[in-house]
Every structure is written in structure tokens, then in C-alpha cells.
Chain A
Amino acid sequence: MRILYGALLGAASLLAVAPAQAEKLTIATVNNGDMIRMQGLTEDFKAKNPGIDVEWVTLEENALRQKVTTDIATKGGQFDVLTIGTYEVPIWAKKGWLVPLDNLGADYDVDDLLPAIRSGLSLDGKLYAAPFYGESSMVMYRKDLFEKAGLTMPDSPTWDFIADAAKKITDKPGEVYGICLRGKAGWGENMAFLTAMSNSFGARWFDEQWKPQFDQPEWKDTLSFYVDLMKDAGPPGASSNGFNENLALFNSGKCGMWIDATVAASFVTNPKDSKVADKVGFALAPNKGLGKNANWLWAWSLAVPAGSKKTEAAEKFIAWATSKGYLDLVAAKEGWANVPPGTRSSLYANPEYQKAAPFAKMTLDSINSADPTHPTVKPVPYVGVQFVAIPEFQGLGTTVGQLFSAALAGSSTVDQALASAQQASTREMTKAGYIK
């Protein structure tokens, strides 16, 4: 009992200490490396903006999304700056939940933002969130294994080349698998990859009347190709592998190729984290000759919730964190290879960055070749490359992701998976009122 009292007293005194003089911003962010670095540089912001204090809430992606969404939708007012993705921004901006970022300062240079990224974060020409880092997806491959197999990776490979190369590299007894791809069910897991892949096959989620398209041949081609490829050349356990599982496999030298987010490039080339750091090459995400590559587009961005009483301070913070000056700051403290990528043209024009980041050109090309408003070959009623920017997508994408992971695990056939996906999405879209 005495221990308990002690603990309570101690806690009470702890709480009494912090004086609430400065204006305090509560910033919700994801626990990815670039944000952690930003958290570490808070002092610089405070020095430049006396009178503003910063409190961080750093969480893993799922937990953060839950909290931030619940809070903004119920107007809980817990946060002053939110870290959200390209999926949320168009939906929330349309609802009037975000403050348009008009006051980022004279030297902010909005036009320096990469056009593809900027258009994904704007509504009616107004910017609703400032990109902190942007990413696309690309092929990362092992140059040594390609050389051994007598293969040369083109800058923009086709799916047929990828499949062929994957089979040639695979050495299952030696635990080298030709290709590692996402398989774990989830709208942001396997469906991010498969939706982007389906775009290059000419498939789409919905036609212009919001009718689901899983009964179309393009989807069947996509899914069969994926399942066959993974059966021939993928690692065991693929149906529960996500980004991090594949990263671990690639970095320990078990994958010949890996198609995933461009930010992975800095992990696989970091000798501290990777056994194959000096053997990695990069190429654009594959295509099928239909004019679309299988690459996605995502930007973790900072936004201010509508109704916040600290809008001015929040915008100051956002301007600081997404400015050119911030890139220089990170470069000075941690080196150019560690600056948040994928947001500003000027960064890619910087020779120092090009030297420090061998993946810079491929990242930029990947980002530029993604178009959120025309993601696939045929016209679509939605925005978003590897997602459909409607509120229902998280749930629907996860359901379809489960069905597709069953096809990968072999517990259902491709046809069964597609039929169930068609049925589930028709049902969901009818319930949500898209299909009358």
C-alpha cells in the first residue's frame, strides 16, 4: 500500500512540474525513420520559433490512423498537427476537416513540390497537406545474382522479363528466392502492391458507374500472373509477408528481386542493416506494354485539423518541417542520404544528393510516372493509384486482400478468389450507396 501511495505522490509531483506557458502543439506522427529524425530535430524548430512548444505522439501506422481518424471525425481536438497519407487527404479535405495551407510563408516555394505528389494532396487547386516525404515503388534487385545468371536488368523491365529472371535466379536449396512480394492481407499490404500491379495490366477496381471489375479478364491475368510467379520463385510464407518481412529477407540476401516502396532503397543500401548493401540495383516497376508501370504513389504529409485553435503555430511547424531549409538541416546533421525523399524537385537537382543517394534518379522517375488521377489504362471514377480514395476502401481493400492472400496460399483458386472479391465488393458498394 505504501508503495502505491509513493507512486501516486511521485506521479502527482511529476505532473505538477510542467508549466503551461508556451503554446504547445501536439503532433501526431508515424514511427517511420524520417519522422523519428524530425522528432530529434525539434530543438531547431523551437529555437527558430520561441514561444511554441512541441509534444510528440509517435505511433505505428495502424494505431496512428485509428486514433487520428477517430479524433478528427468526432472533433475530439486532441491533435494540432496530423501526419496523414495521400489516401486520407482528398477524402478529409472534401469533408472540410482540414485547414487549407495558405500561409506557409514567402520562401516556402510551393511550386518546387513534385507535381504528382502535390496534385495528390490538393483539392480544387488548394493544398490541404504538405508532403513530408513521398514514395513510389520500384524494383530492387541483386546485381551479383543477375550477373551470375547472365541477365541484364533494363531500366524499365516488363513483367515477362521479371518472371523469367525470377525463375532463373531462384535457388531454393540455397535459400535464394527469385522474387519477394507482399502477400499479407490488408488494404495497405498486399492490396497496395496488387492494385498497382493491376494498373499495369490494364485492370481497374470500378468502372465509371462504380461497378466492381473483378470479373474482367485483366484482373484474372494480374492475379494468375502473381500467384504463378510466387509459386515458382517466391519464398515460403509469402502469404503473411508484408513490407518488413520482405525487407528482412532481402537484407539477409534471400531475395533476388523485391518490388516495393522506394524508401526501402535507403534501408537495403545501408551496410549497417543490410548484408547486400553494395550489390543492389534499381529499376522502374514492371509494365505490360500498356503504358502504365506497376508503381504507386504515397506521401506522408502534415495537415492541420479544422477547428484547431493553434492554426498559426501549426502552419509554422509544417512550413519548417517540409521546407528546403529542413532538407539542408538534415543533410548537415545526418548526411544527404538521410533527408526525407520524394517531395521537392530541387532536391533531385542537387548534385550532392545525387551522389549520396544512388537510388535518387529511379525514385524521381517512379514518382513522376505515377498519376493519381489517371491510375490505369481505362477511365475510373476515383482518385488514387494503389488505393481508391473513398472512405469504404480500407474495409473493402482488406476483405479483397484476404481473398487474394488465400489464392497465394493455395487455399483457394484464382477464379474463386476473384468471384468472391466481385461478390464482396458489389455488396459493399451497394450498402454504401454507390450502386443504386
Chain B
Amino acid sequence: MARRISTTHRVTATAAGWLVGFLIFFPILWMVLTSFKTELDAFSTPPQFLFFHWTTENYAIVQERSNYLHHAMNSIILAFGSTAVALVVAIPAAWSMAFAPTKRTRDTLLWMLSTKMMPPVGVLVPIYLLFRDGGLLDTHIGLIMVEFLANLPIVVWMLYTYFKEIPKDILEAARMDGATIGKELIFVLAPMAVPGIASTVLLNVILAWNEAFWTLNLTTVDAAPLTTFIASYSSPEGLFWAKLSAASTLAIAPILVLGWFSQKQLVRGLTFGAVK
């Protein structure tokens, strides 16, 4: 049964929500606007909001210069590949820590997180040497491995937190009904965990999508994702803000679409979970 919501409440919430959303989104909006300006307009004062000479020449330049689809495809492979592998390994681990905790669970969790504390720059040379000897430089497999391992602690953590939120008595009830552990996982736990898994996937895809250190340093051509595409537009000698804005807009577009769908997924998964 839905609560009754007063119109005033709805109007204030809507106004406040849009205002906050707009403020947070503004730098990106500004970047997108800049991508349609000429380089000269991009930094003119007073700033030009809508009444400037709109041009798509920046996109044309980017289109001509770079193989956007190649990079985008690599980003998709790396981001989803590493997240998928991470889920396969992390769901069982998080499940066992949430529902069959031992004395060492908390220590294990913290230890997992501490594996991420090494600043990547500090271990670049060892990893580079390992990759060189293993023939993994500029390969999808190598990069998926790195991204997967880099994000695994976070995936485990987030899943663990969400699993903890699931009321234990529901599982108990299922067990009473004679459900096996496999069935318990698939039919009871999974539906309830959907929102948590969805937001974990979303966050990790984004983290992997934006991961610029390893992807820049361990790829050259074949496995180079959008981060290297961006790096080819940032800070050359010469004016670049409009072109960089165009390239960045292209780089975030796919993930913005993903964000839109998973956002819906999040809400839907949630209404499932709320039905008790």
C-alpha cells in the first residue's frame, strides 16, 4: 500500500531534486556544450551558454582521427569482462562471509581491502616485468586480469554488505522447507540480492571504465580502451578544450546509457525485494 503523498511535498522535492541534480551535473553539461563550440569560443569571456556558433567539427575531427569504435569495444570488453569474472569469484565468497561467518571473517574482509592499498605507481615496474615475461602486454586477458584483481576486494565488500541486509529468517524458512543450498542461492538469495548486485555491477563497470593508470601503461594498440583515446586528446600543444570535450562526451556516452538502464533496473529490483 502506497503512502499518500501531499502535492506540496512532491513539488518541493521535485524542485530541490532538480536543483541539486542540475548543480552536480553542471560541469558535465558545460563540457558537452563546450564540445559544440569552436576552440576560440570555448574559453571566451563572458562565457557563452546557448547563443554561440554551434558546430560539430570537433566530433568530425575526433571521428577522422581515432578509431572510436575500436576503443569503445575494448572498454566494454575490459569493463564487463573484469566485472563478470569478479562476480563469479566474489558472489560465493561474499555469500559465505555473510551467511556462514567465522571468527576470521572480519579480518579476511579487511585484509582483502588492504591488498588495494598499494599505490599502483609503486608497483608498475614489477607488474610490467611480469606482463612482459608472460606476453600479456597489450592483451585483453592481461588487462581483464589486472582490472578484475584490482576491483575484486571492492566487489566482495559491496556484495557482502548487501547480503548482510537480507533478513536471515527468510533463508531459515527456505531451509526449513527443505531447499538445498544451491536452490537457496538461486531462488531465495538471488532475487533479493538483485538491487545490490546491480549497483555493484554498475559501480565496478564504471571503476573499470575509468581506470586510467593500468590501461594506459599496459596497453598500446590491440587492447587500448577509451582511456587511451582520451589521452590522445588531452593537453597537446595548442588549444584543445573543445576537442577534448567532444572526445570525453563520446567516452562517457556509452556508460551514461548503461547508467540509465541499470538505474531502472535498480528501482525494479527494489520493488521485488520489498514484497514480503
Contact = CB atoms under 8 A, between A and B. Distances in A.
A279 interface: no
Contact of A7 (B76, B128, B235): B76
Nearest to B216: A63
A70 B222 contact: no
A79 interface: yes
Contacts of B138: 78
B179 interface: no
Given A39-B65, A76-B137, A79-B220, A4 B237 contact: no
A220 to B, nearest CB: 32
A4 to B, nearest CB: 5
Contacts of B74: 11
A261 interface: yes
Interface residues of B, number: 42
Given A59-B228, A70-B125, A247-B239, A275 B40 contact: yes
A58 B232 contact: yes
Given A63-B216, A248-B239, A31 B40 contact: no
Contact of B40 (A11, A26, A175, A274): A274
Contacts of B81: 8
B132 to A, nearest CB: 5
Interface residues of A, number: 48
Nearest to B261: A3
Taking each of B80, B233, B238, which has the highest tally of chain A beta carbons within 10 Å of its own beta carbon?
B238
Given A60-B231, A70-B125, A26 B239 contact: no
A187 B122 CA distance: 21
B236 interface: yes
Contact of A252 (B45, B73, B132, B137): B45
Contacts of B238: 32-33, 244, 247, 267, 273
Contacts of B231: 31, 59-60, 63
Contact of B128 (A4, A26, A74, A247): A74
A273 B239 contact: yes
Given A7-B77, A61-B235, A55 B221 contact: yes
A241 to B, nearest CB: 13
Interface in B20-72: 38-40, 43-45, 64-65, 70
A73 B267 CA distance: 51
A67 interface: yes
Interface string A64-77: 00110010001111
A33 B44 contact: no
Contact of B73 (A14, A251, A263): A14
Nearest to B61: A36
Given A32-B237, A66-B216, A66-B217, 9 more contacts: A8-B81, A11-B76, A11-B140, A31-B236, A58-B65, A70-B128, A78-B220, A263-B237, A273-B39
Interface of A: 4, 7-8, 10-11, 14-15, 26, 28, 30-33, 36, 39-40, 55, 57-63, 66-67, 70, 74-79, 175, 243-244, 247-248, 251-252, 261, 263-264, 267, 272-275
